[in-house]
Structure formats: C-alpha cells, structure tokens
Amino acid sequence: MRYFKLQLIVLLLLTICTAHAQEPASADDFSQRGISRFEKNDLDGAIADFTKAIELHGHGLEFCFYFRGIALYRRGRLDEAIADLGKAITLKQHPRFYDDRGNLLVQKGDFEGALIDLNRAIEIDPKYAKAYGDRGIVRLMRGDDADAELDFKKCFELDKTLEIQLKLVIQDIKRQAVLRAEHQEPADVQIIKFSWNETPSRVMTPPSSPVIPVSTSPVSQTGLRVLGNMEKGEPGPPTRSPGLPNPSDPLGTPITTPGTPEIRVRGVDRKFSALIKNTGSKTITNVQWAYFFVPQDGKDPIAYLFTTKAEIPPGKEKNLHDQVTSVVIPANQSKGLSEANRALFKERVVIVRLDYADGTSWHSSGRR
C-alpha cells in the first residue's frame, strides 16, 4: 500500500514539475508561446505573451510588436495595431512592416499615409513586387488609374505569380466603383437585349479551418487579400522567435477554430451576354460593360464587370460574351443570386467605357 502511495506522489511531483517546466520563464519563452498561440488563432493569449516578452525586453522585439499588432488588428483594435506596427518600424526598417501598416491605414481611409508607407517599402527594396501591387491598389481606389496600371505592370514583371490574385482584387475594386457611379448612356450604342445563365461547376465541402502556419520566410500580405511572397533570402529572427507568417493572411478575416461544422457549397459558372448595336459614326474597338442585379428588397446591388475587344463598324451589331467561373454558393442559400431566384432581382446592362478606332474614348461617368 505504501509503495502504491509513493508511486502516486512521484507521479504527482513529475506532473507538477513538467507543468512548471512548460511555463514561460524568459522573454524568448513568452515570444515562442505567443507564436504558438497566434498559429492556433488564440489572439488574446498571443497578445498577452507578446506583451510580456516586450516588458522583459527580449530579443526580436520588432517581431513581437509586429505580431501583437496583427493580433490586435484581428481583434478589431485597428488604432492599437497601427501603433504597434509603428513601433516595429522604429526598431527595424523592414519593407514588410511598412507594407502592412500601409494596408491598415487604407482601412482607416488614410490613403496619403498608406502611399507614404508603400513608397518607403519600395525605397527599401526596389524589387519588392508586392509593394508595387499594393500601391497600385491604393492608387486605383483613389481614381489614379494610369499610375495604378504602371504599378501593376511593374509588380507582374517582378513576380508573375501575383498576377492572378491581384487581378481579382483589381476587378473587385473596379466593380465597386461601377456600383457607386452614376452612369450616363452612350449616344452611339443601343443595347438590344441581354441575358445570363448558370451551369454547375462543382460541389465542394470546405475542410475545417487549419491553424495559421508561421515561418521565418518573409511573406507580404495586403489589407484586401493575400497576394503572395514578398521577398526571398532574408532570414527571420532566431529559431522559433517571432518570424513572419506564411502563407495565411494575418490581415484577413480571423480563422474559426478547428471543429467548425462543415458547410456544403456548390460551384456554378455564370455566363453573360449582351447584344449591342453601333449607332454612331466611328468604329468601336473595345467595350467595357457591366451586368447589374438590383434586389427587389432594396439591398445593395450586385454587378459583374467585363471588357470585350471587338471590331464594331457603324451600323453593325455585336454579341458580347463573358463569364465568371466557379462562383461558390452555400447550399442552404435561399435568397441569393441564382437562376432559381432571378425574379428577386431587376437586371440591366450598363456600358461603362467605349474605345474607338481613332484613339478616342467615352466613359459613362464622364471621365475621358
């Protein structure tokens, strides 16, 4: 009996010692546990650990401020997040820190401040492709289309892998601009008819949300969406000290914890067409057009924006075609846009821009 009791006491002592051994004892321990908690989306725990590491003046404080700032942002504390990224910048002039702070400033509507940060990121690393893409996005949001296009071109030259995702962002910004604008009708184009349909694409079941992986390879993010790698070659801080997240989006929507019920969704391809006639005297070479869906219940409209290159001489007709592939629709959605619910929406086509063979153009919002 005594031997059995002794075994229990030894087991208890080992358990206590192990628990104490696992408790952080230094600034680096707190920063390492902070990373672990950040990976698991335990944002409050990560904030507490990075705060303790900062108070103890550990190594790699710039990364502690950076990660704490991102965690604060994802907790909805934008101003505190911007302040922490500023402290990280004070300790290390890292282009990634400037890039992410610039994206946070955009969310506050501070486009000027964002451009200053993005310009600085490019000054530090002129081959930082992602910074050009982010700056192009800001310029596009400001209406500086020409400068934005130059930035996008430079971004794609430096890193072709960013093109697909960046173009999705560009398309969305332009679509939002189309939704907000008051559109005039062109005098030399008649919209004869338009239609759309959808066909099944695939059925998907999203997996449970994974943890957020962290590595020491610097990867840039944007406040709008992840676009890809920023740079290669610069090592992160010491092993398991705060590095930079890869490849998840620390600025994006917080990931739910594992075990979230799966939601079945279906994919569809939406195909759009519009028959137009050139009633003017100049040959049309390019048409930018938008297909609008206005909900009958007064909710925000939906628009798809397309650009079609076409040779349309005066007096001739042209059927414009385009599509959006693999639109994801939750299986339980009952009032969203679908062919089955098309009676819930009013549809119309808007001509956004016309380019002519003589080099002139027309824009529905009055810009030339």
Residue ranges and CATH numbers for the domains of the chain are 2-176+217-245 (1.25.40.10), 185-205+263-363 (2.60.40)
Say if residue 225's pLDDT is above 60: no
Coil, strand or helix at 320: strand
Coil, strand or helix at 367: coil
Q: Compute the average pLDDT of residues 144-169.
A: 90
Q: Compute the average pLDDT of residues 15-21.
A: 40
C-beta of residue 109 within 8 angstroms of C-beta of residue 79: no
Res. 15 pLDDT band, cuts 50 70 90? very low
> Could you report the per-residue pLDDT of 20-60, keeping only the tens digit for each?
446 777 878 888 898 889 888 899 999 999 998 888 887 88
Q: Compute the average pLDDT of residues 151-159.
A: 95
Confidence (pTM): 0.61
As a whole number of angstroms, the distance between CA 363 and CA 149 comes to 18
Say if residue 281's pLDDT is above 90: yes
pLDDT the model gives residue 228:
26
Q: Compute the average pLDDT of residues 269-277.
A: 94
Crossing angle for the helix pair 111-124 and 95-107, to the nearest 10 degrees = 170
pLDDT the model gives residue 125:
95
Q: Compute the average pLDDT of residues 261-279.
A: 78
> Could you report the per-residue pLDDT of 315-344, keeping only the tens digit for each?
999 999 998 887 666 655 667 788 888 889
As a whole number of angstroms, the distance between CA 200 and CA 117 comes to 44
Q: What percent of the chain has pLDDT over 90?
A: 43
> Could you report the per-residue pLDDT of 71-111, keeping only the tens digit for each?
999 999 999 999 999 999 999 999 999 999 999 999 898 99
> Could you report the per-residue pLDDT of 236-260, keeping only the tens digit for each?
333 333 444 433 344 544 333 334 4
C-beta of residue 320 within 8 angstroms of C-beta of residue 273: yes
pLDDT the model gives residue 174:
81
Say if residue 199's pLDDT is above 90: no
Classify burial at 294, counting beta carbons within 10 Å of its beta carbon; exposed 0-12, middle 13-18, buried 19 or more.
middle
Q: Compute the mean pLDDT over every residue in the chain, rounded to the nearest whole number.
A: 77
